[in-house]
């Protein structure tokens, strides 16, 4: 067993490859583009890369419907090119994580095509690789085995004419769920892990990993909560810990990192899986803090609540701060852009920087999503037909259908995953410097103002602020290891938290205004700002921070030395 490398000191950059950089001139991001941008990624001060799926896929869910786990999608390059990227990243000191998507495959995967033929497992070993059930009947009408809803496309069951049975799909119809209770399936997963780990990959981000074990009694869910109907029966299922332990054993042969994505999880579950002698994951990506402006799904949108955001932050910091470790993030491929959600377009630069400080200085390992470090924002399109995301299209055509089109499109604007998937804005050139030809998806028109080339030249840019934050974190034991404490939790405009390391006189205080107006603040009892060292401010030095007041979306880091009595 090899020890896992010290991910706690690290930060990671997530690449959703289709929109990152087009290196071969076909309008689609690829590994050639990634190779060309490795110097840029390294310059941010991150220590590793997480690739969203780069495997062959029909792209029903843009890579999360995999048809071959041991190859590279032709749109993105070849295994040889991936090895070049991997080797170059390692030469630069960057770790590389891949997405491991094992709750489901594509319905075009050879396993599923064989499974559709049916037969006994002895005759057809793929017969029970997926979760199949006979239909129920009401008269002559076929009904699904239960009333579960999928996360993306209506009911969670799809009838297959060839086999004469329904298969379970917790996500899209073209993403049939694997039957992880089948030992052969688990052996397939372990073989996939070894394939990439032997190549030199440093670990995995494991997609919706807490969904892989189901209650095979398949009881009906709550019909009054369709968005989560069935969730209690396929989240944190009865055999999950055992299956994760099998995969953990493989990862530990190579000292590989395992980051589990866990929608709808609890802190108790996270502690169970990431701590103690039965630890099966190193970190968990949870969604609590991404619900501060919505209910269960971003499509059911409401006014942003700072109190809700702070409660989520603090709950996870307190729960995992002592025994476990947090994965810190504000953006990824599954969520709209955070400035458009929790910040302000009017105070774009200020709020973009403030949001960085709000999470990067908490205790945990930060993940930065491509374009987040530039302050990229949501894209507004004129028709649902211009969107690509399967979940967005389903939501638009299923819910709030009595609302006017303009209102439904507004819901898509604030909720669609496509806003995180617009081409990376590299320059003011054609197509934002992403490609020399028309890209696969729409470029956000604000690329003329928001782009890497312009921000490199601006010392006061969001890009340079991210670099400063990562450097500060890396060089401070207090910010790496110190305890977290939130102050003034009832404030609706101010997020203030402190970091302090036991046995040290030093405390670092992070102040974040979520207000469009100047607001007053007071420091916690016992702290005198006149004795504080200003470590960071998101406003230019020519407009210095004023004690006792925060400007719109201002963030300030203050360092205090409190002598022991």
pLDDT tens for residues 414-425? 999 999 999 999
Domain at 483-561: CATH code? 2.60.40.1180
User: How confident is residue 542, by pLDDT bands cut at 50, 70 and 90?
Assistant: confident
* Average pLDDT estimate for 45-63: 97
Q: What distance lies between CA 239 and its chain's CA centroid?
A: 25
28/368 Cα distance (integer angstroms)? 21
Among all chains, which residue has been given the structure tokens 């060839």? 162
**Res 563 pLDDT > 70:** no
**Res 108 pLDDT > 50:** yes
Q: What is the pLDDT of residue 299?
A: 82
Rounded to 10 deg, the angle between the 267-274 and 240-254 helix axes is: 40
* Average pLDDT estimate for 379-395: 95
Burial (CB count within 10 angstroms: exposed 0-12, middle 13-18, buried 19+), residue 368: buried
Q: What is the pLDDT of residue 493?
A: 98
Rounded to the nearest 10°, the torsion over CA 192, 193, 199, 202 is: 150
CATH classification (class only), 110-168: alpha beta
pLDDT in tens, 168-197: 999 999 999 999 999 999 999 999 999 999
- Select which of 22, 30, 107, 261 is catalytic: 261
207 in active site: yes
Instruction: Mean pLDDT check: name the lowest of 150-154, 279-283, 463-467, 493-497.
Output: 150-154
Fold designation for 7-103+183-467: TIM Barrel (3.20.20)
Q: Does the CA dihedral 100-105-108-109 come out positive or negative?
A: positive
On average, the pLDDT of the chain sits at 96
**Res 263 pLDDT > 50:** yes
- Select which of 153, 207, 334, 554 is catalytic: 207
User: How confident is residue 564, by pLDDT bands cut at 50, 70 and 90?
Assistant: low
**What token pair was written down for 375?**
């302050």
* Average pLDDT estimate for 95-111: 98
The better pLDDT of the pair 277, 78 is held by 78
* Average pLDDT estimate for 533-559: 95
Residues of the chain above pLDDT 90, percent: 93
User: How confident is residue 452, by pLDDT bands cut at 50, 70 and 90?
Assistant: very high
Backbone angles phi, psi at 296, to 5 degrees: 65, -45
**Res 295 pLDDT > 80:** no
CA-nearest of 154, 102, 153, 162 to 130 is: 102
* Average pLDDT estimate for 21-25: 98
CA-nearest of 372, 358, 298 to 334 is: 298
CB within 8 Å of 249: residues ≥ 6 apart: none
* Average pLDDT estimate for 113-131: 97
CB within 8 Å of 476: residues ≥ 6 apart: 508
CA-nearest of 273, 298, 297 to 285 is: 273
User: How confident is residue 543, by pLDDT bands cut at 50, 70 and 90?
Assistant: confident
Query: What is the helix (H) or strand (E) element at residue 297, kind and residue range?
Result: strand 297-301
pLDDT in tens, 328-348: 999 999 999 999 999 999 999
Q: What is the pLDDT of residue 242?
A: 98
* Average pLDDT estimate for 79-94: 98
Q: What is the pLDDT of residue 492?
A: 98
**Res 565 pLDDT > 50:** no
pLDDT in tens, 476-525: 999 999 999 999 999 999 999 999 999 899 999 999 999 999 999 999 99
Can you give the residue ranges of every domain in the chain?
Answer: 7-103+183-467, 110-168, 483-561
114 in active site: no
Q: What is the pLDDT of residue 148?
A: 96
């Amino acid at each position: 067993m090899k020890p896992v490398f010290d991910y706690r000191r690290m930060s990671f950059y997530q690449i959703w490859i289709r929109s990152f950089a087009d290196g071969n001139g076909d309008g689609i991001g690829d590994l050639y583009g990634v190779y060309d941008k490795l110097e840029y990624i390294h310059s941010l001060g991150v220590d590793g890369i997480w690739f969203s799926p780069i495997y062959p896929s029909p792209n029903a869910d843009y890579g999360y419907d995999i048809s071959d786990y041991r190859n590279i999608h032709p749109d993105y390059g070849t295994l040889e090119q991936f090895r070049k990227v991997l080797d170059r990243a390692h030469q630069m000191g960057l770790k590389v994580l891949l997405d491991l998507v094992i709750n489901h495959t594509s319905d075009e995967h050879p396993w599923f095509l064989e499974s559709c033929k049916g037969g006994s497992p002895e005759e057809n070993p793929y017969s029970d690789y997926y979760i199949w059930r006979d239909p129920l009947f009401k008269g002559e009408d076929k009904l699904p085995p239960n009333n579960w809803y999928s996360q993306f496309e209506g009911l969670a069951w799809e009838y297959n004419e060839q086999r004469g049975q329904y298969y379970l799909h917790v996500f899209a119809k073209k993403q049939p769920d694997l039957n992880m209770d089948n030992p052969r399936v688990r052996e397939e997963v372990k073989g996939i892990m070894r394939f990439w780990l032997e190549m030199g990959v440093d670990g995995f981000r494991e997609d919706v990993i807490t969904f892989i074990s189901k209650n095979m009694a398949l009881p009906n869910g709550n019909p009054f909560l369709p968005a989560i109907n069935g969730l209690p029966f396929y989240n944190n299922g009865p055999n999950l810990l055992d299956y994760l332990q099998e995969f953990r054993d493989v990862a530990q042969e190579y000292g590989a990192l395992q980051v589990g994505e866990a929608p709808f999880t609890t802190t108790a579950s996270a502690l169970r899986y990431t701590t103690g002698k039965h630890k099966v994951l190193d970190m968990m990506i949870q969604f609590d803090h991404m619900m501060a402006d919505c209910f269960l799904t971003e499509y059911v949108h409401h006014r942003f609540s700072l109190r809700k955001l702070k409660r989520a932050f603090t709950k996870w910091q307190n729960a995992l701060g002592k025994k476990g470790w947090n994965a810190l993030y504000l953006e990824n491929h599954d969520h709209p852009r955070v400035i458009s959600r929790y910040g302000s377009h009017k105070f774009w630069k200020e709020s973009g920087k403030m949001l960085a400080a709000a999470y990067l200085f908490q205790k945990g390992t930060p993940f930065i999503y491509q374009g987040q470090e530039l302050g990229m924002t949501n894209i507004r399109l004129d028709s649902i037909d211009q969107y690509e995301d399967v979940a967005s299209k389903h939501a638009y055509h299923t819910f709030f259908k009595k609302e006017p089109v303009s209102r439904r499109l507004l819901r898509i604007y604030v909720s669609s995953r496509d806003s995180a998937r617009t081409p990376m804005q590299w320059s003011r050139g054609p197509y934002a410097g992403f490609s020399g030809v028309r890209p696969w998806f729409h470029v956000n028109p604000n690329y003329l103002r928001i782009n890497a080339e312009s921000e490199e030249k601006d010392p006061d840019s969001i890009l340079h602020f991210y670099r400063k934050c990562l450097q500060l974190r890396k060089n401070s034991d207090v910010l790496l290891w110190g305890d977290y404490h939130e102050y003034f939790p009832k404030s609706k405009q101010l997020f203030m938290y402190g970091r302090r390391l036991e046995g040290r006189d030093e405390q670092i205080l992070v102040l974040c205004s979520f207000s469009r107006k100047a607001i007053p603040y007071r420091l916690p009892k016992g702290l005198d700002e006149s004795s504080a060292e200003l470590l960071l401010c998101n406003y230019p030095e020519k407009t210095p921070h004023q004690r006792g007041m925060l400007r719109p979306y201002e963030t300030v880091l203050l360092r205090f030395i409190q002598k022991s009595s």
